[in-house]
Amino acid sequence: MIALKIQDLSKNFGSTEVLKKINLKIDEGNFLVLLGPSGCGKSTLLNIIAGLETIDEGTVFIDDYDVSKVEPKDRNIAMVFQSYALYPSMSVKENMVFGLKQAKASKEKIEEQLKKFSNFLHVDELLNRKPSQLSGGQRQRVAIGRALVREPRIFLFDEPLSNLDAKLRVEMRREIKKLHQKLKTTVVYVTHDQTEAMSLGTNIAIMNHGIIQQYDTPENIYNKPNNTFVADFIGSPPMNLISGQLVKEANKTLFIPEGSGQSNNITIKNYNFVKTQDENSKDVYFGIRPEHIHYKKTNDNDIEFNLKTDLNEYIGHEQITTFNYFNQEVLGKFPSTIKIETNKEMKLFFDLSQISIFDKKTNNRI
């Protein structure tokens, strides 16, 4: 069953178009992550789903019901905010039951829900404290609790972990994942953090400039990016985009990197083109992720190179090395156990089964 559907949604702030014809669908029980750089419109989209922003064009459906004109409180949603947004003058308990009280739930019902979820989130001992007496993690837990007690159809999260320190962020991330596994409620989650998006989402919508660049599973987003924006946004370090030409010869397709003077080329095989390429030559980006550049042969699709190392960054569990490939920077990721020397030639293997090719003009995958 489709829990949330967004149809041709547009939104302007004055003359700036924040969202342009957004279409999105999410099945019940799924975890949708809206991912993008700041200013891409993801938070606006979430606010529109919540009913906190008006719509200029298009429709929002929750459970097949058009809620475009419905008040936030009647949409059967709950939201968790980046700044927690706990009511400062109220105790944890009052914070958690505020919504239920507004909805005029019975005293027994309120007590029951409070008990159930404060237990569930381990905040029962904090019930009489004020938000100012809580740590960041506790505040976020209470904020989630406040959303949970109403047992909404859809949970909306607006960058809930951004205000936490790195360690706590990872912990809370796991807790949110557990929560979703247990409750199986539909979630829409906004973040600019790709790790969060990848680890939490069952579906990710990558947004930029008010347009959804790709809406897919985390695996597809990572392995088959739709365009150079997605390829560049996801992955750390991002995908190498080597500029060059795609040339069709009698019975094979070649990639000729820029600056190689035709002498050096890569034969493309086993690559699934989105559609058959008619042109004989085309300006393209050859995309390969740093982890698909190996220091030893791993499979038959690997092709061998000798490249000079320019820079080596050691990060503990791995090391990231910058190579000079016809004056284009190419980054590789290797285990930290091998020894890499800078300014030396190194034997490398590009795994051709993992590449992506993008049209230079449209920036789209071909």
Partner 1 sequence: MSDNTTIASYKRLEDRSKITNLLLRWFLYFILILFASYFIFPLYVMLVTAFKTMPEIRQGNLLTWPSQLNFESWAVAWGGRGYGAGDTFLRPYFWNSIKMVVPAVFFSTFIGAMTGYVLTKWRFKGDSWVFLFLLFGCFIPYQAILLPMARTLGVLGISNSILGLVVVHSIYGIPFTTLFFRNYYVSIPNELIKAARIDGAGFFKIFFKILLPISTPIIVVTVIWQFTQIWNDFLFGATFSFGEAAPIQVALNNMVLSSTSVKEYNVDMASAIIAGFPTLIVYVLAGKYFIRGLTSGAVKG
Which residues contact partner 1 (rule: CB under 8 A)?
A: 47, 50-52, 72-73, 77-79, 81-89, 98-99, 102-103, 131-132, 134, 139, 146, 158
Compute the distance between CA of residue 331 and CA of residue 350 in angstroms, rounded to an integer: 11
Of 49 and 221, nearer to partner 1 (C-beta) is 49
Contacts of 267 (CB under 8 A, 6+ apart): 252, 253, 254, 255, 303
Compute the distance between CA of residue 282 and CA of residue 264 in angstroms, rounded to an integer: 17
Residues 136 and 164: beta-carbon distance below 8 Å: yes
Q: For the CB of residue 102, give the shortest distance to partner 1 in the complex, in Å.
A: 3
Of 158 and 351, nearer to partner 1 (C-beta) is 158
Compute the distance between CA of residue 140 and CA of residue 163 in angstroms, rounded to an integer: 9
Of 133 and 343, nearer to partner 1 (C-beta) is 133
Q: For the CB of residue 99, give the shortest distance to partner 1 in the complex, in Å.
A: 4
Residues 283 and 294: beta-carbon distance below 8 Å: no
Compute the distance between CA of residue 193 and CA of residue 158 in angstroms, rounded to an integer: 12
Of 111 and 341, nearer to partner 1 (C-beta) is 111
Of 30 and 82, nearer to partner 1 (C-beta) is 82
Phi, psi dihedral angles at 353 (to 5 degrees)? -75, -10
Q: For the CB of residue 308, give the shortest distance to partner 1 in the complex, in Å.
A: 51
Q: For the CB of residue 55, give the shortest distance to partner 1 in the complex, in Å.
A: 16
Q: For the CB of residue 78, give the shortest distance to partner 1 in the complex, in Å.
A: 7
Of 48 and 346, nearer to partner 1 (C-beta) is 48
Q: For the CB of residue 176, give the shortest distance to partner 1 in the complex, in Å.
A: 18
Compute the distance between CA of residue 239 and CA of residue 158 in angstroms, rounded to an integer: 27
